[in-house]
Amino acid sequence: MVGTKKNKVCSSTTAKVKTKKTTTVKTVIPPYVPNKKVIVLTGVSSGMGLEILHRLATQDCVIMIVGRDPVTVKTAIANIPPNTKKADINVVFADLSVMPQVRAVANEIMSRLKDKNIGHIDVIFHNATQHTNEITHTYERHEIQWATNYLAMVLLNNLLLPFLNKSENARIVSTTTKPTTKQKLDYNQIQHSRDSRKMFEYSKLADLMYTMQFNEEYRDTKICAYCVYPGIAQKQERRKGLLGLIDKFKERKALPLSQAVETVLYLLTAPHLPAKVVLYHNYRPLMPGDFALNPFNRRRLWRATNSILGIETKTE
């Protein structure tokens, strides 16, 4: 007899088959909100900036705060009455006297907005201000008041231009001092600063001149820049010693904080503003000084600033 080999057959009842469960992760993309107002604020931890933050927090908008000290900024936000808060408030931390940190904060702001599916910025309010009693320089060799009050403003505006251009009514607002006929920029003093009081005045005059020249350079866009002289506001805390006496003397004609911010809020929130009016005080137009009105002086400052910051100057 010839032997036959039996085929081995695995029964379906005895075979064990291991299968892996596949899970799909859905990426939730927020709905695009083209009409959601986006406001960037600097210097909101105290004084006028804090009052403005509390007022704007009652609106249904997105607020991007640029702050330096986490404790003071978080305290400022925590003190907003919960029953009135409607804004989506976000915080980005940076020292605005340091230009690489200004660049980083601009990238962070745009990244955060993209995460919310928002591609525009409607308002930038520059309120972060350094006012020192002695000359101090950053590691980049910029005088700290000049860097914080002026250079940071110019650089942040430039970096956020792509988002400002997407707004239908974008505006940039900064604060300045009361203009006088004697105001002038001494470029030698800026480069070799020795007087801290003058450097503060130079930085605020430069803010005004930049604002005027910005509107000239970007006249074909929907972005307008404005300056406001809010006047002297009553301080919540006076400085000590002789400086405290100076504060007390100045405050004899000071406005209550709630009143001092009214013109600023008008510039930040008014639906329409006259395009040709650059400087405001107490809701009214204010005429800049002769030095700022001179186009040659403004163009010289504009080009020198762009050269320092590495910004490409627009050509005619």
Q: What's the pLDDT tens digit per position in 220-242?
A: 999 999 999 988 765 545 555 66
pLDDT given for residue 119 in this prediction:
95
Angle (CA) 97-42-53 rounded to 5° is 160
What number is the average pLDDT over the span 18-25? 50
* Beta carbons of 213 and 159 less than 8 angstroms apart: no
Q: What local confidence, expressed as pLDDT, does residue 247 receive?
A: 59
Distances (CA, A) of 179 to 130, 245, 291: 19, 25, 10
Q: What percent of the chain has pLDDT over 70?
A: 80
pLDDT, tens digit, 9 for 90 and up, residues 261-309: 999 999 999 988 876 789 999 899 999 999 999 999 999 999 999 999 9
Q: Provide φ and ψ at 290, rounded to 5°.
A: -60, -40
Q: What average pLDDT does the segment 136-141 reach?
A: 93
| pLDDT at position 10 over 90 | no
**pLDDT score for 189:** 85
Residue that wins the pLDDT comparison between 41 and 46: 41
pLDDT band per the 50, 70, 90 thresholds, residue 210: very high
pLDDT digits (tens, 9 = 90+) for 163-187: 999 999 999 999 999 888 888 999 8
Three-state DSSP string of 94-113? CCCCCHHHHHHHHHHHHHHH
Q: Which of 43, 45, 42 is nearest to 72 (CA)?
A: 45
pLDDT of residue 13: 42
User: Model pTM?
Assistant: 0.83
Longest dimension (CA), the chain: 127
Please tell me the predicted confidence (pLDDT) of residue 306.
Answer: 96
pLDDT of residue 237: 54
Q: How many CB atoms lie within 10 A of CB 250?
A: 13
Mean pLDDT of 68-76: 93
- Report domain extents, the chain: 38-309
Look up the CATH architecture of domain 38-309. Answer: 3-Layer(aba) Sandwich (3.40)
- The whole-number pLDDT of residue 16 equals 47
98 in Cβ contact with 140 (< 8 Å): yes
Residue 7 confidence class, pLDDT cut points 50, 70, 90: very low
